[in-house]
Structure 1
Amino acid sequence: MRRTVLIGALLSLAGCGQGNTLERISGPTMGSSYTVQYVRTPQGPAPEQVKREVERILEGIDKRFSTYRSDSLIEAFNRLPANSCQSMPADVLALVRVGEQLAQQSDGAFDLTVEPLLDLWGFGPQSRREKVPDAQALAATRQRVGYGHLRINGEQLCKDAPVEVDFNSIAAGHAVDLLVTRLKALGIADLLVEATGELKAIGRKPDGSKWKVALELPGTDRQIAQQVLAVDGFAVSTSGDYRNYFEENGLRYSHTFDARLGRPVKHDLAAVTVFDRSTLMADGYSTLLLILGPEQGWEFALKHGIAAVFVTRVAEGFVSRSTPAFAQVNKQ
């Protein structure tokens, strides 16, 4: 359930004092992994309790949103024919509304119903092999894509066409927000939560320093640390297209789709990192900006005051530039 990311968290176990310790739990989730680092106080919950709570939340996310398990709620909805409705939990409906917001803001480039196209091109959960589809197959599949075919009716999600919803562009960010909320309710004030590359950091490590995040430039076989930032109260999300792709007849096709065109994007934007108070919105906006590309994405980020770093391919390798809103985040 996840895309390639370019972020590494720099976490130190040194400097623990005053009875506080830095705890770390991790495990598999959503086809990738999660890591939770937090400062444990003498009065705080035991690591075993924290792990149970974290995995309970992540299992719930998987059961509601995963497109890779046939028994998930969203896959049951995706199998329904046109003119069908299904009762959904409140957070599923909330993410549909977020998807609609991002689709409207991007004039339809971002679209939660893009899964049939991903399958057709070989990137989706039902795909068999990566290939460029013929024009007839592409035209037929595009009839099954479009966020306008979805509507919310009370507690039900409905569709008037056989569309399929894919929350992979925002579900991990939502999961991180849920985890942060639960850990704070348990009395944990200082933490860094990461799921499939989406992360949020709050407070300080036991030595009093802020959590640190490394922004990295993509390379052909590795990533190179470009900038290390101290983060407190912000989520960080990176979307990149440099690993999940295929080549055919000398052309490169990435897994980043513009739903308006029905095909992978064709531009030189390799990655976008977004900072936001909400991990959900950082997750969604990093995808949206990557879809729009280096020029349209940049203008969108400026218009909406998004704190973002753009990494673009050039003949010599990669160049990066950051928005004014990012400069303000970096000062905090």
Structure 2
Amino acid sequence: MKTGQVLKQSRFIISRNWLLALTLAFLFSCSDNNQKSGKQEVLLQGNTMGTTYTVKLIGDEQDVENKQVHEKINALLKQVNQEMSTYIPNSELSLFNKSTSGEPVAISEGLERVMAEAIRLGKLTGGKLDVTVGPLVNLWGFGPEYRPETVPSDELLAETKAKTGLDKLTLAEHKLAKALPSLYVDLSTIAKGYGVDKVAELVEANGYQNYLVEIGGEMRLKGFKHNGSLWHVAIEKPITTERAVQQIIVPKDNAVATSGDYRIYFEADGQRFSHIIDPDTGKPINHKLVSVTVIHPSSMTADGLSTAMMVMGEKQAMTFAEENDLAALFIVKTEDGFEQQSTVKFVQFLK
């Protein structure tokens, strides 16, 4: 498609993260109602970050109630939102984005932790994870703004791309600064993962060592279910026409994050435009890799790495994962369907 070609009669597809539904359905189906151990599975649910959360604790329901664990989780997630949401006008991150000052700004411990990891992963992945690409996401119509009727021109693309870049961010001495007044930071690629980590830390601090924490499909698990079996997670087959399981994994005491481009995209004149933007080109990714799952002790790190490797494409992502000793599973689209590949470190988690 030539630059500037009109995107008429296009199809725009946005769907919820079905990995969550599949995972929870599988976890419930594997649940043993014969509670010989005497332990219970306490289910806590709610809304956060524009999605839902689920926490499963193995213990005593009255104990969970007495410790006010649900209330503590809600308060914690409210604080995380207030620190790094781009949808709350007066959130800490929103105020930083609105500011045109280049002076360093003191930031909260939570925002500093996430920004530090975003910058670290950005450098580690050679810039493939870039939390400043929001203007490019909007340009291609996957942000809060309306989708343009034409493919952005090379000039507009270059102009927008100049407004992005991790190199324009500086984090030092608990302060964050931007070299470009209009720089916009969006932490959606790792904020949910951070929320999962914080909730996991909270439930452990309250004495629970067997749990599942999930926010919008990102999750962290530890220990065993009430029947003594390990937690199982279902990875979705990357198709839009139905919900099906691609692979069952047993993450053990780890976090799991999956990134894919098969649920959010638009099509025009036979060409498919993914919602995942390559910071190097400023354009939607265009390769055969359709899903990446990462298993890592930190949900925030797994969240960021799965997105970065989706940007890379199958060959670069596999090389990167092996070189960095990551547990990663890749699903690649072929002429005959889908091909599943994984790093050596991931094999131990396959069911």
Q: Is the 8 A contact 1:23 1:47 kept in 2?
A: no
Equivalent position of 1:223 in the other structure: 243
The one-letter code matched in structure 2 to 1:151 is T
The one-letter code matched in structure 2 to 1:128 is Y
Equivalent position of 2:288 in the other structure: 268
Separation in structure 2 between the aligned mates of residue 42 and residue 279 of structure 1, nearest angstrom: 26
Equivalent position of 1:135 in the other structure: 154
Equivalent position of 2:19 in the other structure: 6
The one-letter code matched in structure 2 to 1:6 is L
Q: Is the 8 A contact 1:19 1:42 kept in 2?
A: no
Q: Is the 8 A contact 2:42 2:60 kept in 1?
A: no
Separation in structure 2 between the aligned mates of residue 169 and residue 92 of structure 1, nearest angstrom: 14
Match of 2:330 among 298, 306, 310: 310
Q: Is the 8 A contact 2:80 2:110 kept in 1?
A: no
Percent of aligned positions that are identical:
35
Deviates more, 1:284-293 or 1:9-18: 9-18
Number of equivalenced pairs: 329
Equivalent position of 1:155 in the other structure: 174
Structure 2, unpaired ranges of 5+ = 1-14
The one-letter code matched in structure 2 to 1:235 is A
Give, in angstroms, the shift of residue 34 of structure 1: 0.5
CA separation of 1:209 and 1:47: change in aligned 2, threshold 3 A: farther
Equivalent position of 2:253 in the other structure: 233
Q: Is the 8 A contact 1:4 1:244 kept in 2?
A: no
Query: In the alignment, does 2:122 pair up with 1:109?
Result: no
Separation in structure 2 between the aligned mates of residue 124 and residue 145 of structure 1, nearest angstrom: 15
Q: Is the 8 A contact 2:32 2:227 kept in 1?
A: no
Separation in structure 1 between the aligned mates of residue 185 and residue 263 of structure 2, nearest angstrom: 24
Match of 1:85 among 99, 104, 112: 104
Q: Is the 8 A contact 1:5 1:238 kept in 2?
A: no
Equivalent position of 2:272 in the other structure: 252
Query: In the alignment, does 2:190 pair up with 1:170?
Result: yes
Where in structure 2 are the equivalents of 1:38-77 lying within 5 Å?
A: 38-41=57-60, 44-46=63-65, 49-77=68-96
Separation in structure 2 between the aligned mates of residue 285 and residue 47 of structure 1, nearest angstrom: 38
CA separation of 1:25 and 1:154: change in aligned 2, threshold 3 A: same
Q: Is the 8 A contact 2:325 2:345 kept in 1?
A: yes
Equivalent position of 1:96 in the other structure: 115
Separation in structure 2 between the aligned mates of residue 47 and residue 30 of structure 1, nearest angstrom: 27
Give, in angstroms, the shift of residue 255 of structure 1: 1.0
Higher strand fraction: Structure 1 or Structure 2? 1
* TM-score of the superposed pair, with normalisation by structure 2: 0.88
Structure 1, unpaired ranges of 5+ = none
Deviation readout 1:156-190 (Å, 9 max, x if unpaired): 21001021111111111111110011001111121
* Equivalent position SS for 2:63: coil
* TM-score of the superposed pair, with normalisation by structure 1: 0.93
Deviates more, 1:111-120 or 1:211-220: 211-220
Separation in structure 2 between the aligned mates of residue 135 and residue 233 of structure 1, nearest angstrom: 47
Separation in structure 1 between the aligned mates of residue 242 and residue 75 of structure 2, nearest angstrom: 33
Give, in angstroms, the shift of residue 69 of structure 1: 2.1
Give, in angstroms, the shift of residue 222 of structure 1: 2.2
Q: Is the 8 A contact 1:15 1:206 kept in 2?
A: no
Separation in structure 2 between the aligned mates of residue 158 and residue 293 of structure 1, nearest angstrom: 32
Give, in angstroms, the shift of residue 5 of structure 1: 6.2
Separation in structure 1 between the aligned mates of residue 43 and residue 87 of structure 2, nearest angstrom: 28
